[in-house]
Structure 1
Amino acid sequence: MANIRKRTLPSGKTRWEVAYVDGGGVRRAKLFPRKSDADAWLVDARHDLARGLHTAGRVSPTIKEAAALWIKRCQEKGLEPMTVKGYEEHVDLHIVPFIGAKKLSDLTVPAVHAFADQLRDAGRSSEMVKRVIRSLGGIFKEARRRGLSNTAPTVGLDLDIPDRDDPRPIIPTKAELNAIINNATGRWRPVILVAIFCGLRASELRGLRWADVDLDAKVISVTQRADASHRIGKLKSKSAYRAIPCPPLALNALREWRLTCPRRHTGKKDANGEPVMALDLVFPNGLGKVESHSNLVERGLEPILKAAGLIEVRSVLDAGGKPVVKGGEPQFVEAGKYGMHSLRHACASLWIESGHNPKQIQRLMGHSSIKVTYDVYGHLFADAEADQKAAEDIETRLRGA
């Protein structure tokens, strides 16, 4: 049974009280300033109670409290530290400041849309808004697991966010790639060549083992990766486990590098009496351990790009992402034009140019789905000549020539 009655509070204010029994048999009450609000809420509550989806506001945690439980769960599941750190930033910088005090039970689909609009108005990019809403979905998923919420307002949500950014990746030209290759020397040369010709992610390069490099078969198998905390672990998805053909230039560089590559053994020997290597990494640091991503870029790629003349002037940004100004003048710095991921994009573009179809590109790049392949490289599969011929045919049919 549920009913609505008018009440006068000790302060003298009038409120409308909805009294009802929740799914657990506990009698609850909720106050509203207007009867119409009470009526509307009771209609929704009855619907949720009938479906077993109602959570009383009194027992519902706030978004901030639920977010803390979600972060704790992510840590317990053993997610990568950088992944957890990213989630924490979503919570601390984007979720809690706007809706942290709200209760989970109060966050409806319209409320999530309003939250997304708030983020956009506050200057968050379209991509960041999408990521934050995904994290909000994770918060609700954990709350539902704990029995603290019975709703999932982010599931199937279409944010309809306008995004005018160019989705096409930045890819070095062939001339630029040749300049990079010609200026890649020493310990960094094989790293750069494998990145350009095999398309490995930076984490996969840092976790690559000699046991996965078959110089005779001319194939590199990707079986593990190194995360931002220098831990060796599993790849991003099942499809990331793959075998990639390696061309002669990269193979020769690997053969030469293997002779001087820093390697540490465990003190044990295998069945053939050979020493067992500790990590057996192809591109380790000087101690034979996992190389850091910052070294890969700052000591490896950056000097090569500068030697090749591939630099650009960028604004110096502070920790908050704002331009640094000294003496009234904005500060600038010269930096390499490309990042390690640009070399991976270059590899994909070369494979596509050589005639590989989308399914082959998905397999070689280790994409989780063909949709990812099309989203990133769909424009490279375009047939310019066929498009031009189609345009001319349309004109011919229209003009009757």
Structure 2
Amino acid sequence: MPALGARKLRELTAEDLDRWLEGKADSLSTATLRDIRSILKRVISRAQSRDKVKRNVALLCEVPIGQAGRPSKSLTFDQAEAVLKAAEDSPLHAYIVLSLLIGARTEEMRELRWNHVDLIGKPRATPPVPPAIMVWRSVRAGGDTKTRKSRRTLALPNRAVDALAAHGERQNLWRANTSRTWKDDDLVFVSHTAAPLDAANVRREFRKVVRAAGLSGKEWTPREMRHSFVSLLSADGMPLEQISRLVGHSSTAVTETVYRKQIKPVLLEGAQVMDKLFPESPGAV
């Protein structure tokens, strides 16, 4: 309402939008400004299709250059190991282990339920089925994951199995001994009041762990554990297509765009194979 909300849509001009976006550029990133313009374009297009307006003025506007976004970064292997070690005494130990070792989004982790966790698998099946978690929900509206391909089942590393098993035992003991009313909604991760975790809970506890690991708490956020997951896999040589499936992206293009700083920049495999096939150039000295 203080900005565009008070204007009648049929009276809105491209100049109004230009001024509004320029004002927002003082505090928002270019990517956010682009998203805002996209939303406006769709809204006005809907009105245009119902003869509420004559033209879509958002199509006439350019997106201004906004503020530089916070650069993404990832933990090195040594830093990640230090964070895992420091997290051992944290109530979010299992949360941090899972975030670093399977790369789930924070909104997926907070909605994870025990009936979507299999710590045993089917070792006698053919082929054997490993322990796994089903990343089928998130804290987004309606409980859906970010995209259709984000709904995925991920095998659990041994370290994650151990952390989840210990977490479950502590939670059962807490449930049995607590005098609080336990909200039995089957959530794997809850706050100290037995309520669902929110982003602030996770951020606050994660910063404590980061500081205990010898890093700056202000410089790291929980979402960078997912960036670290991508970076560590890429550094170890995992193909981009496999990384993309693990993080639940619709295509490798999304992975490259979002995690371009975490993906190994030089693709070595082709050159390495060709060096084996053609080890020397004809006439090489």
1:302–1:115 Cα change, 3 Å: closer
1:172 aligns with 2:75: yes
Aligned residue in 2 for 1:365: 247
Runs of 5+ in structure 2 lacking a partner? 121-129, 177-182, 273-284
1:76-87 paired onto structure 2 within 5 Å: none
Residues 339-388 of structure 1: per-residue CA shift (max 9 Å, x gap): 10000110111222233322222221122443321112235132276899
**Helix, strand or coil for the counterpart of 2:110?**
helix
Q: TM-score, normalised by structure 2?
A: 0.74
The structural deviation recorded for 1:296 is 1.5
The answer as to 2:265 corresponding to 1:382 is: yes
Q: Does 1:240 align with 2:155?
A: no
Instruction: Tell me the residue number matched to 2:233.
Output: 351
* Alignment match, 1:128: 32
Structure 1: segments with no counterpart, 5+ residues: 1-63, 65-91, 266-276, 312-334, 390-400
Which residue of structure 1 aligns with residue 278 of structure 2? none
The CA distance in 2 between the partners of 1:367 and 1:168, in whole Å, is: 20
Which one has the largest radius of gyration?
1
Aligned twin of 1:149: 53
How far does the alpha carbon of each residue in 1:107-129 deviate from its partner, in whole angstroms, 9 at most, with x for none?
A: 35x77556544544x55432232
For 2:16 and 2:58, locate their aligned partners in 1 and report how far apart those are by CA, in whole Å: 10
What's 1:26 paired with? none
Instruction: Report the Cα distance in structure 2 between the residues aligned to 1:133 and 1:370, rounded to whole angstroms.
Output: 26
Partner amino acid, structure 2, of 1:179? A
With over 3 angstroms needed to count, the CA separation of the structure-2 counterparts of 1:384 and 1:162, relative to structure 1, is farther
Query: Could you tell me how far 1:193 is from its partner in structure 2?
Result: 0.2
Deviations 1:10-46 (A, max 9, x none): xxxxxxxxxxxxxxxxxxxxxxxxxxxxxxxxxxxxx
Tell me, yes or no, if structure 1 residue 194 matches structure 2 residue 107.
no
SS of match in other structure, 2:33? helix
Mark the CA change 1:278 to 1:124 in structure 2 (over 3 Å): closer, same or farther.
Answer: closer
1:384–1:336 CA distance, 2 compared to 1 (3 A): same
Q: CA deviation at 1:137?
A: 2.1
**2:86 counterpart of 1:183:** yes
SS at match of 1:351: helix
Q: Is the 8 A contact 2:17 2:61 kept in 1?
A: no
Contact 2:28/2:66 (CA < 8 Å) preserved in 1?
no
Query: Residue 219 of structure 2 corresponds to which residue in structure 1?
Result: 337
User: Secondary structure of 1:378's partner?
Assistant: coil
Q: Distance in 1 between matches of 2:93 and 2:23?
A: 47
CA contact (8 A) 1:179 1:308 kept: yes
Query: What per-residue deviation string (whole Å, max 9, x for no partner) do you get for residues 232-260 of structure 1?
Result: 71112211101122211111111111112
Contact 1:205 1:225 in 2 (8 A): yes
Q: What is the aligned partner in structure 2 of residue 253 from structure 1?
A: 163
Work out whether 1:309 is the aligned partner of 2:191.
no
The aligned residue for residue 290 of structure 1 is 196
Q: Aligned with 1:207: secondary structure?
A: coil
Partner of 2:13: 107
Q: Distance in 2 between matches of 1:359 and 1:388?
A: 19
Q: Which amino acid aligns with 1:222?
A: V
Q: 1:104 to 1:180 in 2, by over 3 A?
A: same
Residue 154 to residue 247, structure 1, CA distance change in 2 (3 Å): same
Q: Secondary structure at the match of 1:290?
A: coil
Judged with a 3 Å threshold, the aligned counterparts in structure 2 of structure 1 residues 179 and 367 are, in CA distance, closer, same or farther, namely same
Return the offset for 1:285.
Answer: 2.6
SS of corresponding position for 1:185: helix
Give the residue type in structure 2 aligned to 1:173. T
Contact 1:171/1:345 (<8 A) preserved: yes
Given that 1:305 and 1:336 are in contact with CA atoms closer than 8 Å, whether structure 2 keeps it comes out as: no
Structure with higher RCO (Cα < 8 A, 6+ apart): 2
Aligned to 1:82: none
CA shift, 1:303, in A, is 1.3
Alignment: residue pair count:
255
More strand by share: 1
Q: Distance in 1 between matches of 2:84 and 2:39?
A: 40
Offset, 1:180: 0.6
1:220 equivalent in alignment to 2:133: yes
